[in-house]
Amino acid sequence: MMQIPAKPIQVFYSYAHKDEIFRRELEKHLSNLRQQGFIQEWHDRMIVAGTDWAFDIDTHLNSSSLILLLISPDFMESDYCLSIEMTRAMELHKAGEAYVIPILLRPVDWEGAPFARLQVLPSGARPITIWEDLDQAFLNVSRGIRQVIEQLRSGDFARFADVSQDITRLPGEQTSDFISLENYLKPSRLRFPTEDDFEHDLIYVPEKQRIELLHMLHEKRRVLLTGSQAAGKTVLAIALAKQLQEQNTYKVAYKDAEKAREGEGRRWYQLMRTHDRKGVLYLIDNCHLAPEEVNEFCQQWEEQPPEYTQCLLISRAHAGEEEEAWGTYHYFEACGDATIETRSEEVYRGMLEKYAIYYQRQHPDRYASFTENEAKLLKKQHAHNLVLSKSRLEAWSELGGRLSEVKQEAVYTVMIKRYCARWKEALPKLCALRQYEIRAHNFFVESHLSRQEVQQLQEERLLMGATAQNYGMLYDLAFHPEEARELFEAYIYYRYGRVTGKHLRNSTLEALRAYLETSPLNYMEVYIRLAQQKQKRMLERLLKDAHLQECAARQFETGNLIDAISYLFRLAKIDSVRAHALLSRLIEDIGIRDLCSRIIEYPFQEIALLLQNLQQIDDEVARQAVTGLKLEQCIKHIEEQNIQSFFQLVQVLNTILPVQGRALLLSVPIKTLLTHITASNFHFVIEQLRGSEYPPAQLKQLVELLQVDTLIEQYEHMQRAHLAHFYRMVHLCKGIAPAQAKMLLERIPLELLAQRASASNLNLVWQIVDIMRELALPQTYREHFIELLGIEWLIQKAEKENLQHLYWILHSFQRVSPAMRNKLLEALSPAGLATLCLAKEASIGMVGQFNKVSNKLFRQQFLGQFTPEDMATIFNRSSLGAIGSFLKPRYFYFRWSYQLFHDRFLKDHFQTESLEEIGKFLARIKQISEVGEDLVYNAVSLLAEVDLVERVASTDLKQFALLLYNSSDVAHKTYLFQLLDPLLHPDAMHAALQKSELSGIQMLIHNVASIDSTPDRRYLQAIQGGLRTVDLRERIIHADLVTKTTFLTNVATHIDAGLAQEYRQFIDSLECTI
């Protein structure tokens, strides 16, 4: 791949004019760097006369990568140098956007200055003027600058940042909370992906997912990547992180949340705040296995998100099966507007193709090409589980031939040879646990498994142990749960010669029962994991087992009380009598007083869950427990726990025994509540207090004591701080302490308020204006707010008296006053507006815009004025894409209108509109529930009769490829072949290829390959013929790496391996010329 020479580093001189002679001398010594094209300098003597000098300085300062501060007494005395240029330079340095080098020109006291923490030049912090040889001093400076320039050009920015470099741990600590991406990617036979997998080009990431994830990370900074087990979530995250690290010089750290300890969530947040700068990304994997820690982390992030650091949470889809206290905060809710789902169905084919290419490259005659495989069979074997897919690929690597012909028995055979034959006794039992992500207790491992096999597994790092709070040492296999499940199946195959559902269920139950019979301290983990993975039948059979009930009961008195109550809660769902009996035995053994003393030792959230479960088992026992709680002990711990969990406990207490809930709430000092209230949780806390009948006088006192400036600052930095959030704060304050509400509005910068308002809905803007009036803020204040929103500009645009400007008048009034908007709509009347639309020949897009600025009743009456004939006519003067957008949510209301349009006009639109508009239309009507596919089928039947040759010839092939994609799984093959007809016209094919980017060409090849089932693959042959006639070298040079790779893959797989090799040789030749 061609490497474009790095652009010159932009250098900015910040200096006092009395030091100009030194600046000129330094420029001389940097002339070699300048002539080599390494730097491009700027200073204020380059300002052109008559221009805005302050603007020029600010522009060049903000766009420079290296800022040189020429320090002297005059520099330190200059307000502009010190207060403006240096202050901004340090902000850019801290953010990682530029690097600052202080250069000492003349002796001056600079101790304690903002730049004092940075590495200064010349070496030894000796000012230039006290050197005996000034040239030697400047040479020392220029060499120091050259080192920085070389590092900047190589991308190693972080070396010069004034923050701790190891982002995996807190400064001053020896142990790391995370591991670096480099460590994660070290070779390992059980981890995927590794560096070797990237080097062998075995990682496939759908371009759409990659772009979507990059965009959301940039916009939201904290993103949740979710999906089913073995859907490729971690691979996607690691691939993206590696790209950011290599192409954007990111630092990346990884954490497997499965190994998280209690309370780590706060440490993760503290770590990210400490290393808060641009170009830092944290990955937290397996979040579903440590929801409490991830919830705690997200709560901290919500209240005060880092300014620059990005975080990608990786989690299995939320099953909603975990036990949670009422009102529990969950990270899925926190990331509701920043969640991306990945599906194995979108990944498997690309992954298989990469492996096929890799294997064939090594042994061309041993492996059949990917296209020789049965596509449907491959989909059935690989599309739903990428881990199992990888196991089948490993078997294929040994067997050769066609991948689709690799039988499951062959996969088992390979696993038996590799694992089961060596560890016949210990490994199957551990796999039975690992497949459900259950850890094995130390007592079980050391007393019930072969010591020799355990030792061998540990030596090969297949079995690892870690101490868990309340449970001691727990062991876990290094296999992915899905791989462990397949290994367990291989063991059954090894044992019985076949694998049936009955064999699998019975063997799994046997293994889990054997584990539970040893009374492991983490017995509850078995039941929780089975519930999370919806193994209902297996869970019920284990819970109903009388012997296992006794094994669990033996743990009650000395074990974890939360586990005991959780077990009884689950047992009560299937055998309430037995659950009551075991609970009674527990109370008899330890007494209600001891039960209460043990409950109060837990964090609030766990107390809430425990009491909630206890109430579900026996309401009377729950009331006794709540009565016996020493609430004063709760108060002692409130300052060290989050306020949400405290109110969860209050809610549960109110449900069981309201007097205790109220007593707990009233015993909390107002001062303590104040320390917990932030802009993020303000609404939650106040509503909780009001809902718990907190005394109005105390509530007013609490609100009056809030620090308004602090709340505003927190609101400004909140990640999801919409205008609605601020409005709720003001509205709540207004109802309790109006003076505080007024102060919130007076103190918040109007620019910030207008910024948030512009991103909000119009109703909220009106509510803010109205509450300003109610709180008697000056009219000028309200007018200034409206001016910042740009209403006047909208009104001016609306005065041009056409439909678009009428819409803007309504839109503007909706911002200022919904009442004014309604008056205008009333004056127009639904019939009058409809008549105007017909007279002005409005498009369907314009009709849709009027819907946006009218109330529900008006909108219904307005649309009801149009007859089917009217709407068909409006459709006819609209673009196909706009018609599709309008119909998608309201097709059934206008189905007769659409039918008229279809019969009279649709084919004419197909004759004239662009491929892009046709593609949009098909994509949007396809999404109409129930009838979407039928609508596309009927539309394509018309489209197949239309000559598309000229439009294909004059358009980037991407649009034609997308059109085929939206038609391929709905339309009949006959119609699809008719759509493909333009490809058989050599001149059109040639012209289209000339106009197309590489991405569009590869997309067309891929989509045509999925359609072309002709014996001679004539449509793909036509593309091949076209490719032979065009020169793609320039487009290959400018294409990114992913596009080049995908293009080569599609050409090699579907067109001609020889042609793909020619393109590859050209790419290789480019790299050789660098």
pLDDT at 1: 28
pLDDT at 144 over 60: yes
Rounded distance between C-alpha atoms, residue 847 and residue 843, angstroms: 7
Percent pLDDT > 70 in the chain is 92
Q: What is the mean pLDDT of residues 655-662?
A: 92
β-strand partners of 224: 313, 339
> What is the per-residue pLDDT for 156?
52
Indicate the pairing of strand 99-104 with strand 66-71. Answer: parallel
Q: What is the mean pLDDT of residues 52-66?
A: 78
Q: What element of type H or E holds 14?
A: strand 9-14
Is the pLDDT score of 71 beyond 90?
Answer: yes
Reduced to 3 states (helix: H, G, I; strand: E, B; else coil), residue 68 is strand
Using the structure block, give the residue that is written with the tokens 């030894």: 124
Q: Kindly tell me if the per-residue pLDDT of 263 is higher than 50.
A: yes
Looking at residue 3, its pLDDT comes to 35
The long-range contacts involving 401-405, CB below 8 angstroms and separated by at least 24 positions, are 401/367, 401/368, 402/368, 402/372, 402/373, 402/374, 403/352, 403/356, 403/367, 403/368, 403/370, 403/373, 403/378, 404/373, 404/374, 404/377, 404/378, 405/373
Strands 339-341 and 9-14 turn out to be unpaired
**Residue 161 pLDDT:** 43
Q: How many Cβ atoms from other residues are within 10 Å of residue 1027's Cβ?
A: 20
DSSP helix/strand/coil, 315 = strand
**Cα separation, 608 vs 871, whole angstroms:** 58
**Residue 790 pLDDT greater than 80, yes or no:** no
Per the prediction, the chain carries an average pLDDT of: 86
Q: What is the pTM of this model?
A: 0.59
* Domain ranges across the chain: 9-160, 179-342, 407-528, 529-777, 948-1074
Q: Output the six-digit token pair for 186.
A: 């070290």
Fold of 9-160: Rossmann fold (3.40.50)
pLDDT digits (tens, 9 = 90+) for 822-868: 766 777 788 888 888 888 888 998 898 888 888 889 988 999 999 99
Determine the pLDDT at residue 10.
Answer: 87
Give the pLDDT of residue 720.
Answer: 61
315-319, 356-360, 732-736: least confidently modelled range = 315-319
So what's the pLDDT on residue 642? Answer: 78
User: Cβ distance 712 to 744 under 8 Å?
Assistant: yes
738-778 pLDDT tens trace:
999 999 999 999 988 887 876 665 557 667 877 887 898 88
Cβ partners under 8 Å of residue 571, min gap 6: 543, 549, 578, 579, 582
**Distance from C-alpha of 500 to C-alpha of 710, rounded to nearest angstrom:** 64
**Residue 736 pLDDT grade (very low, low, confident, very high; cuts 50, 70, 90):** very high
Q: Which single residue is written with the structure tokens 């053994």?
A: 589
pLDDT at 503: 87
Which tens digit of pLDDT belongs to each residue from 592-644? 999 999 999 888 888 999 999 999 999 999 999 999 998 888 877 777 777 88
To the nearest 10°, the Cα dihedral for 878, 882, 883, 886? Answer: -130
How many C-beta atoms surround the C-beta of residue 47 within 10 A? 16
Nearest to 949 by CA among 984, 994, 909: 984
Residue entry with tokens 């709070």: 469
Which among 230, 722, 701 has a CA at the least distance from the CA of 480? Answer: 230
Do 9-160 and 179-342 have matching folds?
Answer: yes
Convert the pLDDT of each residue in 555-572 to its tens digit.
888 888 999 999 999 999
757's tokens = 């308002």
pLDDT of residue 375: 84
Backbone Cα Rg of the chain: 34
- CA dihedral in degrees (418, 424, 426, 429; nearest 10)? 100
Task: Please state, in angstroms and as integers, the Cα–Cα distance from residue 398 to each residue in 359, 386, 401, 764, following that order.
Answer: 10, 19, 10, 64
Cβ atoms 964, 1007 nearer than 8 A: yes
Residue 476, strand partner residues: 464
The CATH classification of domain 179-342, taken from the options 3.40.50.1950, 3.40.50.300, 3.40.50.2300, 3.40.50.2030: 3.40.50.300
The residue written with tokens 């006519």 in the block is 873
Q: Is the dihedral of CA 258, 264, 268, 271 positive or negative?
A: negative
pLDDT digits (tens, 9 = 90+) for 310-349: 999 999 886 554 555 454 557 888 788 889 999 888 888 8
